[in-house]
Amino acid sequence: MPRITYADRFATLLAKDYLSDRDRKFTESLFQYYQRKRALTPGRRRCFLQLEEHYAERPETDDAMDIRIRGLVTRMGENGTRWEKNFTHSLRTQVASGRSLSEKQIEILEKIESKYTDEELSKASEWASAWGETQKVEWAVLMRYYASTGYYRNLVLSWQLDQDAVPSLRDYTRITENKFARKILDGWRSDPVYAAGSMVSLRTSAKFAHRKVLTKGVGVVIKTNADEPKSACRGNKIYEVLPVGGVGTIMIEERYLKKARVK
């Protein structure tokens, strides 16, 4: 009968799927030490023996909870966020090791489950089919806005890597229902107060840079929605204006303009 080495015993212990994540990482560190040194120190040997004894028999587990979590993982599929996948994985290993979930863990589990019901998955499928050019353009407007603010970096990076990808309904709703995003979209979608060809002048709130270019204080609107809104506020639609007597245009937000009174 071949001699059973520590390497064999490590392999047997690590093959058990009911090791907790913490104990698995610790066991792997002990094994790495053993592979380098070909031996264990007395302290490490004692820890390894304790782990072997603790995991000698498969503990009694809550099979119903295990099935419940596995079902959620299946429903999530590729739609689950990284955090949700990591959280459900930690729950599975906890249940597999014979430990019960806390009330807080069950509460979070229920919140995740509510996002992946048949009804919600059906909505997500319909959302992907309904995605069109309007949503794509508006999503791009918001992603460029948030790229300038530093918020939602993961979503912005995903969009930058693939601008044709359809965001999840959850991400789209989370972003577009944000009060700042709503103001950006309101400015982009709203009808212009001043049509192309209108004569406009500056309000008293206009910036010095505007007054420096519109030396006569009056200009002609060349284009509306000339650029995407940069400020999450009212009157953020951007116009391209040609100063009277000027040769170059300037971009000005609607809130700095008013109808010009000219003879």
Alpha-carbon distances, residue 211 vs 216, 217, 233, 243, 258 (angstroms): 8, 7, 21, 10, 14
pLDDT band at 17 (very low <50, low <70, confident <90, very high): confident
CB 252 within 8 A of CB 235: no
Distance, CA of 239 to CA of 251 (rounded, Å): 6
The mean pLDDT value for 188-201 works out to: 94
Average pLDDT over residues 144-162: 92
Provide the angle, in degrees to the nearest 10, between the axes of the packed helices 103-115 and 82-96: 130
Gap between the Cα atoms of 9 and 168, Å rounded: 46
Q: Which residues, listed in sequence order, are joined to residue 251 by a DSSP beta bridge?
A: 240
Domain ranges of the chain: 6-54, 63-116, 131-189, 199-259
Q: How confident is the model at residue 45 (pLDDT cuts 50, 70, 90)?
A: very high
pLDDT of 103 > 90? The answer is: yes
Q: What is the pLDDT of residues 204-224, one digit of tens each?
A: 999 998 888 888 889 999 999
pLDDT over threshold 90, residue 32: yes
- What is the reported pTM? 0.59
* pLDDT class of 197 with cuts at 50, 70, 90: very high
> Is the pLDDT higher at 117 or at 97?
117
- Residue 21 is predicted with a pLDDT of 82
Residue 263 has pLDDT above 70, yes or no: no
Mean pLDDT value of segment 32-43: 92
How large is the average pLDDT for residues 184-202? 94
What does the pLDDT read at residue 9? 92
Across all residues in the chain, what is the average pLDDT? Answer: 90
